[in-house]
Amino acid sequence: MDNYKQSAQAAEGALASDTLAAKKVFERHYSQKIGVLAGYLPKESKYVASWLSGIVKEALAAREGKSAEDLQPAVLAMAELLEHHNELRDLVRLMIAEGQDVHRQYEPDTTYTVNSIETMLYAMNHIIMRAPPFTPDVPHSAFPMSGLFVYMMWTRGGERVFKDDKFNAKLADILDAWCTYLDSPTSLNVITTGAEGWLNTKSYTDNDLDQFVSKQQQRDDPVHWGYTSFNDFFHRQIIANTRPIDGAGNPAVVTSANDGTVYRIAREVKRTDSFDCKSQNYSLENMLDGRHVDRFVGGDVVQSFLSGNNYHRWWAPISGTIIEKRVVPGFMFSELYGEGFDDSAGTQSQGYEANVNTRGLVFIESDDPSIGMVCVMPIGITEISSVDIQVEVGDKVKKGQELGWFSYGGSSMCLIFQSGAIKQFTIVNPEPDSDSDNGPFIRVGGQIAITHTR
């Protein structure tokens, strides 16, 4: 293991230089970032720290008169890990200190109170005991774990912490505990029509609830509209006629597996490639966890980003047979340092994250050999990173049939095709390295490509 202390001074010097250069670029195109357009972030790149400081204040107030043993079990396990692993503890302290430096660059007029391992742990403990409210003027309240880590993620220390196996395992347990809470009826306190409820008039408009909620649900349950938990609301089912299946009887038409915004279309993808560089290439060995790689070498990838108000279930893009399904554990808050400070907590690193993050793999074998196998790869980004696959090996699925869903958190999706299967993509590929990350919107069930089907 590296000596973390010896790297601290060099890391801090590099951070100061990198921060000043990146800030100029960041401010120029901030308003067009995916996080702003998707509602993760305020319209100005400010005030995350003041919101976060409020969280820390509440967490420390709730802690008064209690001992460390009153932490949630998963958070207590993280505390014990850091207590007994000196080098990892030193690295986390470095990450927090560097995060304060990043904060001072971007929000110099606000107080930032995540200044120790203790305040970080109590903020995490506070977050996972609550469901995020609907507060459109403070977007990080809807994605609080991203808000907690956003400054730390773009640091030399954070670059290493969020790749550390031991830290990552404990963090995954913390997020699992939060997911369990958000699956429970207790989390319904924010699924109401109140001022901070996700069913109020503004949320109804902002989140296009008319496409999801039937009048019958509202009549039968005027308080929660039939939802059973926060996550039940988050991966709510859509009204069928709002997402028709294009080319339902035409095997040459490939449809989108999800609602979202196109991030990238890549052709002639390599078996292995450098993904931790500015270009964020796709490396099939990494993406597919070594599964069926030979079938996809030289093929195509289309990746899209799901915002908080998108439909979070995913459908089969072709008809065929489920050959294999699995969830690959991976990173959650790791982002590509070379992208510069990303106030959207990782959405600018989606190509990199496709190779390393927690992700699902659903392999579908088409009945048409000219299409061959297609891989549907839902990717968790930050927050809970929960991928639920709802089909089994051997199942016959039709184009447009539901395959699974994301629980609460950030999400991305890759569709991977064999070489020669796609004749033409019918969606626009965003310009690489442009200031705008706002690719074309795609709807689940909508046409995205035409194949060489005979």
User: Which CATH number describes the domain made up of 243-451?
Assistant: 2.70.70.10
Structural domain boundaries in the chain: 4-182, 192-226, 243-451
Q: Which residue in 85, 114, 80 sits closest to 100, CA to CA? A: 114
Q: Where does the pLDDT of residue 161 fall: very low under 50, low under 70, confident under 90, or very high at 90 and above?
A: very high
Quote the CA–CA distance of 351 and 319 in Å, as a whole number. 27
Quote the CA–CA distance of 310 and 294 in Å, as a whole number. 33
| Mean pLDDT to the nearest integer, 82-86 | 96
| Mean pLDDT to the nearest integer, 198-206 | 93
| Mean pLDDT to the nearest integer, 252-267 | 95
Helix (H, G, I), strand (E, B) or coil at 52: helix
Q: What's the confidence (pLDDT) of residue 424?
A: 95
Lowest mean pLDDT among 74-88, 212-226, 268-282, 382-396: 268-282
Q: What's the confidence (pLDDT) of residue 439?
A: 83
**Residue 28: both structure tokens together:** 């120029």
Of the two residues 66 and 75, the one the predictor is more confident about is 75
Lowest mean pLDDT among 117-131, 274-288, 310-324: 274-288
Residues 6+ apart with CB under 8 A from 9: none
Cα 393 to Cα 323, 359, 361: the distances in Å are: 5, 17, 12
Residues 6+ apart with CB under 8 A from 7: 156
Lowest mean pLDDT among 234-243, 379-388, 408-417: 379-388
Task: List the beta bridge partners of residue 449.
Answer: 254, 425
**Residue 416: both structure tokens together:** 């991977």
Q: What's the confidence (pLDDT) of residue 19?
A: 46
Torsion on CA atoms 390, 393, 394, 397, rounded to nearest 10: 30
| Mean pLDDT to the nearest integer, 206-228 | 91
Q: What's the confidence (pLDDT) of residue 407?
A: 86
Residue 13, pLDDT above cutoff 60: no
Helix (H, G, I), strand (E, B) or coil at 422: strand
Q: What's the confidence (pLDDT) of residue 234?
A: 92
Q: For all residues of the chain together, what is the average pLDDT?
A: 85
Percent of the chain whose predicted confidence (pLDDT) is above 90:
60
Asked whether the beta carbons of 394 and 365 are under 8 A apart, the reply is no
The sign of the dihedral angle between the CA atoms of 103, 107, 108, 114 is negative
Quote the CA–CA distance of 351 and 356 in Å, as a whole number. 9
| Mean pLDDT to the nearest integer, 200-220 | 90
Asked whether the beta carbons of 100 and 152 are under 8 A apart, the reply is no
Encoded amino acid at 194, one letter: G
| Mean pLDDT to the nearest integer, 131-146 | 81
Residue 440, pLDDT above cutoff 50: yes
Quote the CA–CA distance of 154 and 8 in Å, as a whole number. 15
| Mean pLDDT to the nearest integer, 188-213 | 94
Q: What's the confidence (pLDDT) of residue 335?
A: 87
Of the two residues 267 and 39, the one the predictor is more confident about is 267
Cα 3 to Cα 79, 284, 329: the distances in Å are: 21, 32, 27
Asked whether the beta carbons of 437 and 33 are under 8 A apart, the reply is yes
Long-range contacts at 171-174 (CB < 8 A, ≥ 24 apart):
171/78, 171/332, 171/333, 172/329, 172/332, 172/358, 172/385, 173/74, 173/77, 173/78, 174/72, 174/74, 174/75, 174/78, 174/124, 174/128
Q: What's the confidence (pLDDT) of residue 177?
A: 95
Q: Which residue in 371, 381, 401, 372 sits closest to 389, CA to CA? A: 401
Residue 57, pLDDT above cutoff 50: yes
Cα 255 to Cα 259, 372, 447: the distances in Å are: 11, 15, 4
pLDDT in tens, 346-382: 677 888 999 999 999 999 999 999 999 999 999 998 8
